[in-house]
Amino acid sequence: MMEATVESTIEQSADSLVSRPATGERAPVAEGETVGSPFVDSPKMAMRNVDVFYNDKQAIFDVSMDIGSNEVVSMIGPSGCGKSTFLRALNRMNDTIEGARVEGSLRLEGQDIYDPKLDVVPLRARVGMVFQKPNPFPKSIYDNVAYGPRIHGLVDRRADLDDVVEDSLQRAGLWNEVKDRLNQPGTGLSGGQQQRLCIARTIAVSPEVILMDEPCSALDPIATAKIEELIAELSENFTIAIVTHSMQQAARVSSRTAYFHLGKLIEVNDTERVFTNPEHELTEAYITGRFG
Amino acid sequence: MDTSTLLAITAALAALAYVIGRGRSLSQAADIGGIRKLNSLPFYYGMLTALWCGLPALLLLVLWLIFDEAIIQALLIESLPADMRDLGGSELGLLLNSVQNIANGNSAGITNPDLLAAGQLLVSLRENSQRALAVVVLSGGLLFGVFGWARIRPQQKARFQVEAVFKIVLLLCSCIAIVTTLGIVLSVLFESLRFFQTVPFFDFVFGLDWSPQMAIRSDQVGGSGAFGAVPLFAGTLLISAIAMLVAVPTGLMAAIYLSEYAGSRIRSAVKPMLEVLAGIPTVVYGFFAALTVAPMIRDNGAVLGLDVSSESALAAGLVMGVMIIPFVSSLSDDVITAVPQSLRDGSFGLGATQSETIRQVVIPAALPGIVGGVLLAVSRAIGETMIVVMAAGLAANLTANPLESVTTVTVQIVTLLVGDQEFDSPKTLSAFALGLMLFVVTLALNYIALHVVRKYREQYE
Amino acid sequence: MNKSAEKTIDLVNRNLAKRYRAEKRFRFYGLLSISFGLLCLLFLFTDIIGKGHSAFLQTYVALDIHFDEEVLGIDNIDDPAQLMVANYDGVIRKALRDQFSEVSSRRDKRALYALISNGAGFDLQREFSLNPRELLGQTRTFWLVADDDVDTYLKSYRGSGEAFTGRLSEQQRGWVQTWVAEERIEKRFNRIFFTSGDSREPELAGIRGAIMGSLFTLAVTLVLSFPIGVAAAIYLEEYAPKNKWTDLIEVNINNLAAVPSIIFGLLGLAIFINFFEMPRSIPLVGGIVLTLMTLPTVIISSRAAIKSVPPSIREAALGIGASKMQMILHHVLPLAMPGMLTGAIIGMAQALGETAPLLMIGMVAFIVDIPGAVNDPATVLPVQIFLWSDSPERAFVERTSAAIMVLLAFLIIMNTLAVWLRKRLERRW
């Protein structure tokens, strides 16, 4: 079955898929194909026929979709559906896992991310990532934020670095809470503050894309609300792909939503469409709470 | 009958008690309708009887062995003529010594009939004691064995009682660690206190001159400066510092490479090979340092026009450093792998290179653990004996020049204590004072290190 | 924002080369460290083997021995006492004089006699005692042990151009060369090294006594430390309540594991030798001291092995009504046994290589006799190495290295056994 799908999608052009009529009725779809509108015009990132393996186990099956500029795409699906794996493939974080292998084409503004000659360091400077559990470095708050600019050599003077740190913390909505204790360890903050610190740390490098892997799963509802607010603000300047466990969150923060199921991308559509009138029966089953 | 035969017979008796006790429980069970009517399995009744037989016998044996010398001595003194009995402690001790010699068959040169008679008495007392011991132990075992056997009832909670004994034995075994520490502290402290009665503590700790040989003459006991341990401390620190300069960077970098860069195949090949270095006995390193490394350094130094001692601190320190490399590397490896992957991900996610991640995130995060490991390594270097005994010198030079010969605390302990010693000369006792210093310092280092490492582990659990 | 993003990537790219150079350097340091460690290992082994391999061969000299009744001083061949004390050295000396008849002065004679080991007479006595009747009055060729100076000289002579002459005079070397020319010199497997005890004469010194001493010491250590260590581990893992006393025990065990070994020697000296007045130099005391030293290792590894038995096994046993002791003895212990044995072997390997504490309790004495029990005076292999390394004769250097090779061989065998046990028998849950 897999073989057939690979062959059939390889030849599909983006145009033909985009032009698929977005009707209210659920179109009969062949199993294994992604329904909805996975592709956009002039995408920031374009993924085609992506397979991810952990040693012999395949975790992602033939996923193709686009992420447009300055949009927030959320990825939802039941546990173990591969959404986090897919996200980690976007800035080659899977490289750090032994035995992980990614196949297919992943492009950032036309450039192949998995080109063996491509350097992951500048790639990750362009595609930053925020992780599920807040992971501040055991350093001061200031050093946490300054870490990225420092290693990449983005600023020459201390004063500029101070500006970058302040600006990033401002944008992460953390400045007022921490400005008096920048020299205290980042690990001493509360969970929600830690996660916002991690976001500040990521935007301090001014990436083009920010990947967020369930950024609120370890946080309480109030902290979650703050992060969501922050995502909405950030979406003005950054392209954001967010994996989330919470459908409400996806509905609140994203413009488009992708639904993953057992390693396959089932449906990509405007968020509103997904939550009101999903095209695929699996999507509907999920959002109506029949599993997940 | 000597003690080991007695032990064997006691064991056989206990085994017999097991069989009989088990048999009794079985026959009682037969009367009341099978084993299922017993409180416990027949095995436990047998074990209980064997314990009743064996434990009192063992206890008697131990008590007897502890007290028989004292009792025999008291009887012996009783038998001596009154004028001998009234002698002072040390003279009486000398007399008793010659009696001992007579009893052991070295009566040459002793003609005093009283002493010869005492010697005879001692021999017979010892024989009687052995015989009485056998009788007491065996009859005790038998008596209690029969008592235990008679107590067997189907309702008796044999299993419960056996397990209680089992648990107490386990507890006693685990307390040996405490007893050992206590033994170390008491033995070292006791002799050290005796030493500090002749040589003031501050003269010992802050004195700059170490020449214990001079103190043999009674008029110079405690002579100023003869027992100043500062040169030894300095020598120990110098050699340890050289060792740490070799071991810490090398061990740490090796651990980093193996845990962060090397593939699993290289890791599984190289790690055991490095650990071979840790398994080589220190005496081998000592030989290597004294016969290969030290001459090599001296010859190379001579080529450069340097005057290198053939027992240079450098040779001992270098070889000690090589010995400690695997120690540092495996401890660092543990703490580096304990750094959560999420921190590395965080750094990689920002586009840091691997070395940037290691230097700025992994190492700072692992620092407490690494420091703990280094402290343990320091404590090892300070306490290391054979390498310095064989490759470092005996002269107590107060110098920081690694090309000169220095001596260390452990070298002096060995030199002072190897061979026969008298336990009342300050020369011998000073070794225990050095041992006390060594113990206190290494204990403190270990305690801090283990504490730091444990705190570190908790942080990431 | 796009503009600033472009700026970012340009900045990143500008510094990239420098950062990758740093990365390469860092990796190189890592590789360098590992290579340094491995090179040290290689250097150590080649050095020891290079120095020690020649000790496994020993130079023998063929002499035509005439068993002269008069020289031997035997008048009644059936008297074993006479055979014991007969002047075997005399016949050897006579054979030497016969061969080099030009030697006349007392000093030269003594130089000639010095070429043959002092121990050669004992070998001759053993041969002669086998069938004295047949040999008496006869002349036979015997291979006799050469003195260590001859041995060292010939070994270095064959090895390189410049021979190490040591104490041999020009004249003595001449005699040796005569033997070489007559093919009366042969290097044979050094049996003495493995069959005799210590000796002041390098050519007669062997490691048998030290090996036996090590075996007895290790046996005492194993018999004491394994049961006690396992019992302590069981108590701490299965019974110990969480309280101050248990904490104290744990802290003590962890600290003892890192106390310098020489401190245990001080303990042994003060408590066992001085206070309990046990004899010096015996494997029993050595074994007890090493037990105290290795106990923490055994306890820690046994605890790890017990801990690795999953709780489900315990629950299953308790669930069908086994008592705690039954659960431990029937299920936990058998499953943890491979791990415990591995720990015990590692502890024993540590004890086998230990020297310092044994120096303290007098196991450094010069002991010729091979010990036969745990309370015979003995030395152990590492201490023998220490003693020999201090000896001035060059022939002892190669013997020391050879003894080290034997010691390392034992350690390698033990560690391989431990690794094999762990791989083969340990279950992965």
Domain boundaries, chain C: 58-189, 208-425
Confidence of residue A291 (pLDDT cuts 50, 70, 90): low
Domain count, chain A: 1
Q: What is the Cα–Cα distance from C291 to B376, expressed in whole angstroms?
A: 22
CB contact under 8 A, B351 and A96: no
Domain membership flag for residue A190: no
Question: How distant is the Cα of C22 from the closest Cα of chain A, in angstroms?
Answer: 11
Which residues in chain B are closer than 8 Å to C235, comparing Cβ atoms? 167, 170-171, 173-174
Which residues in chain B are closer than 8 Å to A139, comparing Cβ atoms? 364
Question: How distant is the Cα of C73 from the closest Cα of chain B, in angstroms?
Answer: 35
Q: Note the pLDDT of residue A27.
A: 45
Interface membership of B180 toward C (CB under 8 Å)? yes
CB contact set of A36 (below 8 Å; sequence gap of 6+): A22, A267, A268, A269, A273, A274, A279, A280
Question: How distant is the Cα of A279 from the closest Cα of chain B, in angstroms?
Answer: 34
Residue to substitute from B179, B284, B416, interface C, most C β-carbons within 10 A = B284
Which residues in chain C are closer than 8 Å to B177, comparing Cβ atoms? 232, 249, 252-253, 256, 295-296, 299
- Per-residue pLDDT of B96-148, as tens digits, reads 777 777 777 766 666 777 777 888 888 888 888 888 888 988 999 899 989 88
Parent domain of A252: 2-7+33-132+208-287
Q: Which two tokens stand for residue C124?
A: 């001759």
CB contact under 8 A, A153 and C5: no
Bridging pattern class, strands A72-76 and A256-261: parallel
Mean pLDDT of the region A76-90: 88
Strand-pairing partners, residue A75, are A243, A258
Bridging pattern class, strands C185-189 and A100-108: unpaired
Considering only residues 397 to 416 of chain B, which have any Cβ-Cβ distance to chain C shorter than 8 Å? 410, 413-414
CATH number for C208-425: choose from 3.40.50.300, 1.10.3720.10, 3.40.50.720, 3.40.190.10.
1.10.3720.10
Confidence of residue C226 (pLDDT cuts 50, 70, 90): very high
Q: pLDDT > 70: what percent of chain C?
A: 96
DSSP string over C60-83 = EEEEEEE--HHHHT-S-TT-HHHH
- Nearest C-alpha in A relative to B363: A138
Question: How distant is the Cα of B350 from the closest Cα of chain A, in angstroms?
Answer: 6
Q: Answer for the pair C124, C140: CB distance below 8 angstroms, yes or no.
A: no
- This prediction has a pTM of 0.83
Q: Note the pLDDT of residue A3.
A: 39
Q: Note the pLDDT of residue C108.
A: 87
Which residues in chain B are closer than 8 Å to A152, comparing Cβ atoms? 351
Q: What is the Cα–Cα distance from C387 to A257, expressed in whole angstroms?
A: 80
Considering only residues 11 to 40 of chain C, which have any Cβ-Cβ distance to chain A shorter than 8 Å? 11-16, 18-19
CB contact under 8 A, C1 and A237: yes
- Nearest C-alpha in B relative to A129: B349
CB contact under 8 A, A124 and B349: yes
CB contact set of C70 (below 8 Å; sequence gap of 6+): none
Interface membership of B432 toward C (CB under 8 Å)? yes
Question: How distant is the Cα of C18 from the closest Cα of chain A, in angstroms?
Answer: 10
Closest Cβ–Cβ partner in A125, A153, A237 for C9: A125
CB contact under 8 A, B326 and C37: yes
CB contact set of C214 (below 8 Å; sequence gap of 6+): C352, C380, C381, C382
Q: Note the pLDDT of residue B126.
A: 83
- Nearest C-alpha in B relative to C241: B171
Query: Torsion over CA of C171, C176, C182 and C183, rounded to 10 degrees?
Result: -170
A·C CB contacts under 8 A: 39
Residue to substitute from A90, A91, A92, A96, interface B, most B β-carbons within 10 A = A96
Query: Torsion over CA of C146, C150, C152 and C154, rounded to 10 degrees?
Result: -110
Q: Answer for the pair C41, C175: CB distance below 8 angstroms, yes or no.
A: no
Mean pLDDT of the region C22-28: 94
Residue to substitute from C2, C6, C12, interface A, most A β-carbons within 10 A = C12
Residues making up chain C, counted from first to last: 429
Would you say residue C130 has pLDDT above 80? yes
Confidence of residue C160 (pLDDT cuts 50, 70, 90): low
Residues of chain B with pLDDT under 50: 214-217, 220-225
Would you say residue C219 has pLDDT above 60? yes
CB contact under 8 A, C5 and A152: no
Q: Answer for the pair A203, A238: CB distance below 8 angstroms, yes or no.
A: yes
SS3 C421: helix
Would you say residue C46 has pLDDT above 90? yes
Q: What is the Cα–Cα distance from B307 to B55, expressed in whole angstroms?
A: 67
CB contact under 8 A, C16 and A121: yes
Q: Note the pLDDT of residue B125.
A: 85
Q: Answer for the pair A67, A44: CB distance below 8 angstroms, yes or no.
A: yes
Would you say residue C30 has pLDDT above 80? yes
Interface membership of B345 toward A (CB under 8 Å)? yes
Strand-pairing partners, residue C140, are C65
DSSP string over A4-50 = HHHHHHHT--HHHHHTS---SSPPP--TTPPEE----SSEEEEEEEE
CB contact under 8 A, A96 and B346: no
Q: What is the Cα–Cα distance from C404 to C381, expressed in whole angstroms?
A: 8
Residue to substitute from B268, B336, B341, B350, interface A, most A β-carbons within 10 A = B350
Domain membership flag for residue A219: yes
Interface membership of B458 toward A (CB under 8 Å)? no
Which residues in chain C are closer than 8 Å to A151, comparing Cβ atoms? 19
Domain membership flag for residue A244: yes
Interface membership of B265 toward A (CB under 8 Å)? no
Would you say residue C335 has pLDDT above 50? yes
**Domain B230-459 CATH assignment equals 1.10.3720.10:** yes
CB contact under 8 A, B178 and C236: no
Bridging pattern class, strands C185-189 and C57-66: antiparallel
Interface membership of B295 toward C (CB under 8 Å)? no
B neighbours by CB contacts (3+ pairs under 8 Å): A, C
- Per-residue pLDDT of A125-144, as tens digits, reads 888 888 888 888 888 899 99
Question: How distant is the Cα of C352 from the closest Cα of chain B, in angstroms?
Answer: 8
Considering only residues 59 to 118 of chain C, which have any Cβ-Cβ distance to chain A shorter than 8 Å? none
Terminal CA-CA length for chain C: 54
Question: How distant is the Cα of B135 from the closest Cα of chain C, in angstroms?
Answer: 25
Question: Residue B330 corresponds to which amino acid?
Answer: S
Mean pLDDT of the region A197-218: 89
Mean pLDDT of all residues belonging to chain C: 87
Domain membership flag for residue A258: yes
- Nearest C-alpha in B relative to C261: B383
Boundaries of every domain in chain B: 3-174, 230-459
Interface membership of B181 toward C (CB under 8 Å)? yes
CB contact under 8 A, A151 and B361: no
CA angle at C326 for the pair C323 and C332, rounded to the nearest 5°:
120
CB contact under 8 A, A125 and B353: no
E strand segments, C94-242: 139-145, 185-189
Would you say residue C399 has pLDDT above 80? yes
- Nearest C-alpha in B relative to C385: B283
Would you say residue A122 has pLDDT above 50? yes
CB contact under 8 A, C260 and B442: yes
Task: Provide the angle, in degrees to the nearest 10, between the axes of the packed helices C170-181 and C106-113.
Answer: 50
Interface membership of C4 toward A (CB under 8 Å)? yes
Question: How distant is the Cα of B447 from the closest Cα of chain C, in angstroms?
Answer: 7
